[in-house]
Structure 1
Amino acid sequence: MATQNSAVSFLGALSQVSLYKRTQGRLVRQLTALTIAVIVLLGAGAFSSEVMRGVASSVAPFPTSAEELQTSSAPMIQGLLRYGVPTLLGLLGCWVAYRAVNYPRFADFLISVEAEINKVSWPSMGELKRGTIVVISVMFSLGITLTLYNSFWYWFFKVIGVLEDIGPSE
């Protein structure tokens, strides 16, 4: 019963325009809405180029002559199907993204996430540079070490006859 009520309240929240606690958690909420919108728009673009192209061409074939082009509504129907449906899906998805970050339960979660982010002590620029140098140095030294191990084992297995030299392919 609680799941049904929360689903109904989210659907009801989709029809509202008001902002929930508009001054709190703005950065996280804006970035979350932007991320959801970008994913939806990329999906709508892929839907337009992949799925709707096949659907549009199977609904009404392109006219073959100039007279058919003037009297036929096929290009208009194909254009509406190929670009109109994904555009509507993109707009609907952006609206859902906007409303999702203003849905009280999700908005309160995002507000608390931003509050926790603000509590974290972030490293200074000097600490960040030193840490980056350490990580890059360790990665290069591990790469060199693994290359040396690989060369040794290649030489060893070649000496004992497990590996054979394969000449250049013709």
Structure 2
Amino acid sequence: MLEQETLHAFVNGDERALEAIIDRYSKSLLRYCISILCDVEEAKDVLQETFIKAYEKRRHYQPGTSLNAWLYRIAYTTAISAVRRRRLRFRLWKASKDISPAQENYISEPLYSLLSSLSVADRALLYGRVLDERSYQELSQILNASESTLRKRFERLRSRLAKEARHRETYAKEEWVQ
């Protein structure tokens, strides 16, 4: 956790405090953005936008609340905007190319297929619970949903992914046998 002096300096526009915050949170926020977007380069862009927005909106930060959750919330909303922009670009791109997005994004085709079948909110929840090991309390601040809603959503998501994985495994075995 950052010291109170650093947070206070950040809210007041100190660029060194911003650098300290970037140093502290950039790796975890980048992983989070990659998990939502499934695209490393786009995630890097969203990360930059996140820190720009955080700096621009620094006066809206409420002292005493989690800076981590506040930054993740900004990253989440910025990533959703990027997904919306991507949908339009993808339609245009798909019409002109016959290359799978997974081939350009360093994610295996089966994993890309599985992750892209999830909503952005479900990918964010999955990443937060599984990879970042975040509590439902913190995720509720980031995703702007109640803890009980997130618990239930995660339970359903886990069940759905397990079922899908079994289905894909069965299908792959049948294809291999033939």
Q: In which range does the TM-score fall when normalised by the shorter chain? A: under 0.3
TM (normalized to structure 2)? 0.24
Higher relative contact order (CA 8 A, sep 6+): 1
* Greater share of helix: 2
Larger CA Rg, structure 1 vs 2: 1
